[in-house]
Amino acid sequence: MTTKPLPLTPELHAYLVAHGSAPDEIVRDLAEETLAALPNDAVMQVAPEQAAFLTFLTRVLGVRQAVEVGTFTGLSSLAIARGLPEDGRLTCFDISEEYTGIARRYWQRAGVADRIELRIGPAGETLRELPLERHLDFAFIDADKIGYPIYWDELVPRMRPGGVIAVDNTLRDGRVLAPRDAGDRAIAAFNDQVLADVRVEAVMLPIADGVTLARVR
């Protein structure tokens, strides 16, 4: 056994993706269109191994009611929806009609559009429209970093016991060790908030830019 982290070279990353659930034609086309249409923002799209992980996790948890905060062009929501049963539901929260317009086309193409409801508006406000009871099985947070504590505080009370919240970008390319900007500082503070939250048990995984999984007690 070793505690030394394994360097993930480009070649090893390609091997990892190829030996998991490799991207299909729809995922490849979505990634390519996002890069072509939004070259400066394409970095906001989840990595291919994250998409595969989200589908796998949704299926393993038996998720029926899910929420996503931060949809962008739809790869993560597509991945979650593919893991849902036919009567499962995913509610997506985003502020951009432009970005999510791309998402809608790929949801339709993948045959999962009937499982997804998109709500446009500031998530700090629109999340409050969800029922207050503990009904959510899964939530994925991948939006503006400064808003993470707000989204967290709205979601945790709505998660069923045993429900899981996944949070993206919790390593900030390593900058949580020496924050450089407001986003870095927000994530470093958020990670401490999760660690101290007695309502959950959490683990941080070195997937892509860091994914925190929190199981609600």
pLDDT above 90: percentage of residues in the chain: 89
Closest alpha carbon to 151 in 177, 123, 183, 176: 123
Which amino acid belongs to residue 164?
V
**Side-chain-facing half-sphere of 124: CA atoms under 13 Å:** 7
pLDDT above 70: percentage of residues in the chain: 99
Find the radius of gyration of the CA atoms of the chain.
17
Fold topology of 10-216:
Rossmann fold (3.40.50)
Q: What is the pLDDT of residue 201?
A: 98
Measured distance CA(90)–CA(65) in Å, rounded: 6
Q: What is the mean pLDDT of residues 131-143?
A: 97
Q: What is the mean pLDDT of residues 69-80?
A: 98
Q: What is the pLDDT of residue 8?
A: 85
Taking 90 as the threshold, does the pLDDT of residue 13 lie above it? Answer: no
One-character DSSP codes across 124-188: HHHGGGS-SSS-EEEEEE-S-GGGHHHHHHHHGGGEEEEEEEEEE-SSGGGGGGS--SHHHHHHH
3-state secondary structure of 65: strand
Q: What is the pLDDT of residue 4?
A: 74
pTM above 0.75, yes or no: yes
Measured distance CA(69)–CA(147) in Å, rounded: 10
**Domain boundaries in the chain?**
10-216
Q: What is the pLDDT of residue 2?
A: 56
